[in-house]
Amino acid sequence: MRKTQRFEELFLPHLDAAYSLARWIVGRDQVAQDVVQEAYARALKGFSGFRGENPRAWLLTIVHNTAYGWISIPINEKKLIPFDEDAHAVPMEVLFSEVSQERRRELLAEALNRLPAKFREVLFLFEIEKWSYQEIAAALNVRLETVRSRLKSARRRVQQELTQVREREIEESH
């Protein structure tokens, strides 16, 4: 009973962060809840391997691994044409001065949900969780340059998504 109690003390305070990360990766509430449940079960099972350094990082790494296990990767992924950031860059500034705060949140959520999971995840860990590049690289088991690249791409793609939505709204209002 002591093991379970200690586990709860260390990891239950991070339940919201675990859910948020899972939601950002998988993109749907119910699936994120399932991912978190499975991740906590895995964390409890592997609790004896936890060395007590950073419970939040340890747990979010498990959530990351679990979430990616839930995402199905297209079989023909190698046949996909890569997204060319520079070719699709839109230099126009997005202006939302006349859009309500609630609509801005909706637009941002829609833009974020259209990002690939690997971009949403890095954006979440850096912008929301305030992790350093080094912490993200270690947790995701990728190079530091990969983290920087994904973060840059994620920001650019969110801006492009918002610009496209804004252009559609302008066209529809005329």
CA distances from 172 to 44, 51, 94, 97, 158 (A): 52, 57, 16, 17, 21
Averaged pLDDT score across all residues of the chain: 80
Is there a single domain that holds both residue 65 and residue 87?
no
**Which of 24, 49, 70 delimits the end of a domain?**
70
32-70, pLDDT tens digit by residue? 999 999 999 999 888 888 887 889 989 999 999 899 888
pLDDT bucket at 80, cuts 50 / 70 / 90: very low
Residue 76 lies in a domain: no
Q: What is the CA radius of gyration of the chain?
A: 19
pLDDT bucket at 6, cuts 50 / 70 / 90: confident
Tokens of 169: 């709204």
- Asked whether residue 25 carries a pLDDT value surpassing 90, the answer given is no
Provide the b/e sequence for 30-42 (b: ≥16 CB within 10 Å): ebbebbbebbbeb
Domain with 28 in it: what CATH number? 1.10.1740.10
Tokens of 38: 């499975």
Is there a single domain that holds both residue 123 and residue 44?
no
